[in-house]
Structure 1
């Protein structure tokens, strides 16, 4: 009997983990009864009762497993590490807040049985805030235009990954993995399926401006050189324009010594303009250096505090992924 892993990352999802677990179990009992399965929750140091509920779920059913992180390791490291700890013939990455419809699990499994190794679920519409969805769309188009790797628009990681691709993830040894870019780079023949993203069933998202900005910068520094190239070109252009303006002022002053008064305004405007450009690109360069520094230090993806319902075979999978 083939085994399917459902991997669900969570952080402060006490209002959702019980419901999402029961919903996934119902899907397998109703439509995928011919498969064995496991449901793996990886908790990123929740501050609410998420872990308490997960312990109850694991006690009720040994097919429900849990990994408790020692601290919050971020929105990318924890899901990536969780994928590498699954033991199924394929793994489905699913959000705990019901924005990823559990009803699509059988569709992905049936496509996997047809031979598709990676299935990416693409948001073609969303019930979230329209402005936020539009801004996300602009971001995806920008990163796709700037990246050397053909990025996948409106792909959040929700999808199915064959065991062979999970093994690829284990070999990458990247301390700051960006799963969306990795799928675009190493799974070029992935199947894309459209869906409408739902509203959160309960609770409040932990994403804020800073976490979204961190995600954007990780993708830019990992998969684009356009920012640094743009800085080089902008430097040449601004230098050229400044030189032409200086020549113009020199000629005007020589020809109209008494009438032409330059004043301080052009100088102040030029200083603030060039200072703003310099600060912007110094910050951008700092983002690249920060990304390099994180990779050079090479800290572990996750440090576990506890794992529940794992067997010796599962532990060997863990050792192979570290």
Structure 2
């Protein structure tokens, strides 16, 4: 096994009792056909309330390549995924969702691109199994986020990606209460390349990402990688202030210089007051989102508590600092 390159496959799971066994069979079966690579399969169980953990425990009991990290509570998709990357000990790590909407059959292609010298290889969704409205919203969000962000974020890229041990070493330093990994990894630099693929429909279980969680993820992505909302608040406040000053000057000039008797303007005054209150509430909400993230970070409750960890004592084929990642790519 020492002459084989260790690859960590990170699979986040939450109430996926209908999918975990299939995910294990397909991923393990794929690596059985790859003689140059050894598999480390890391499942992160986000405190599932169904039979997900018992099934993972049974799998880990018969296959020492399978590691299971179960959290003491649900910490959210992104934080559980970050822990999975931080636990990975391979020369590279591949993240794939438990529902296998991202086809495992593309993993050999990703490994080939990694061996060519790329530290990050990510899938670009050519089509989505969602309805037209949801698919359009997803694509619009990715395009808008890239336009607003100070970082160069790939459009239509999800979580299906390979990262080199160099990137994993940097992720181990991250202690973020509200991480947005696809943006965080993109902002790190290195050599990153995408490839197009078609995302398949879920075959087992139900989606764990309702509209509310999609909106929350979108907010994390926007607020973690852009100060544009704060700048919009500042510029809008400045513009409203200028307009108010000019309007006041206009009324005073008409009244004092030209003796204009303006009619009572109850409706106008009411509308202006309501507009001011609305703008204040909206922009205080934006500031509050940033302050809330600062509070969570300063509070220090950013590391998920691990309730149980199975098969954690497997010898590692990766070095700690990730400096020699190019050499490891060329092994095997």
Tell me if both proteins adopt one fold, taking TM over 0.5 as the criterion.
yes
Q: TM-score, normalised by structure 1?
A: 0.91
Give 1:252 deviation, angstroms. Answer: 5.2
Alignment match of 2:22 (pick from 19, 23, 26): 19
Structure 1 Cα separation of the partners of residues 167 and 131 of structure 2:
33
Alignment match of 1:239 (pick from 233, 238, 241): 241
Match of residue 265 from structure 1: 267
Identify if the C-alpha distance between structure 1 residues 312 and 204 changes in structure 2 by more than 3 Å, giving closer, same or farther: closer
Alignment match of 2:148 (pick from 146, 149, 170): 146
Deviating more after overlay: 236-245 vs 276-285: 236-245
Indicate conservation of the 8 Å contact 1:7/1:83, yes or no.
yes
SS of alignment partner, residue 291 of structure 1: helix
Match of residue 195 from structure 1: 197
Indicate conservation of the 8 Å contact 2:175/2:303, yes or no.
no
Which residues of 2 match residues 42-53 of structure 1 at below 5 A?
A: 42-53=44-55
Match of residue 157 from structure 2: 155
Q: TM-score, normalised by structure 2?
A: 0.89
Match of residue 68 from structure 1: 70
Structure 1 Cα separation of the partners of residues 37 and 97 of structure 2:
21
Count of aligned positions: 315
Match of residue 165 from structure 1: 167
Structure 2 Cα separation of the partners of residues 268 and 160 of structure 1:
57
Match of residue 178 from structure 1: 180
Structure 2 Cα separation of the partners of residues 2 and 142 of structure 1:
39
SS of alignment partner, residue 288 of structure 1: helix
More helix by share: 1
Which residues of 2 match residues 38-117 of structure 1 at below 5 A?
A: 38-117=40-119
Deviating more after overlay: 168-177 vs 72-81: 168-177
Structure 1 Cα separation of the partners of residues 199 and 284 of structure 2:
37
Structure 1 Cα separation of the partners of residues 108 and 30 of structure 2:
8
Indicate conservation of the 8 Å contact 1:218/1:291, yes or no.
no
Considering only aligned residues, what root-mean-square deviation do their CA atoms show, in Å? 2.1
Alignment match of 2:297 (pick from 295, 298, 309): 295
Match of residue 286 from structure 1: 288
Structure 2 Cα separation of the partners of residues 253 and 135 of structure 1:
51
Match of residue 217 from structure 1: 219
Indicate conservation of the 8 Å contact 1:10/1:44, yes or no.
yes
Structure 2 Cα separation of the partners of residues 237 and 52 of structure 1:
59
Structure 1 Cα separation of the partners of residues 204 and 259 of structure 2:
72
Indicate conservation of the 8 Å contact 1:118/1:187, yes or no.
no
Indicate conservation of the 8 Å contact 1:176/1:301, yes or no.
no
Give 1:317 deviation, angstroms. Answer: 9.4
Give 1:212 deviation, angstroms. Answer: 2.1
Structure 2 Cα separation of the partners of residues 14 and 130 of structure 1:
29
Structure 2: gaps of 5 or more residues: 321-332
Q: 1:210-242: per-residue Cα shift (whole Å, max 9, x none)? A: 322222222222211111111111011111122
Indicate conservation of the 8 Å contact 2:60/2:66, yes or no.
yes
Q: 1:150-188: per-residue Cα shift (whole Å, max 9, x none)? A: 112222221111112111111233343221111111134
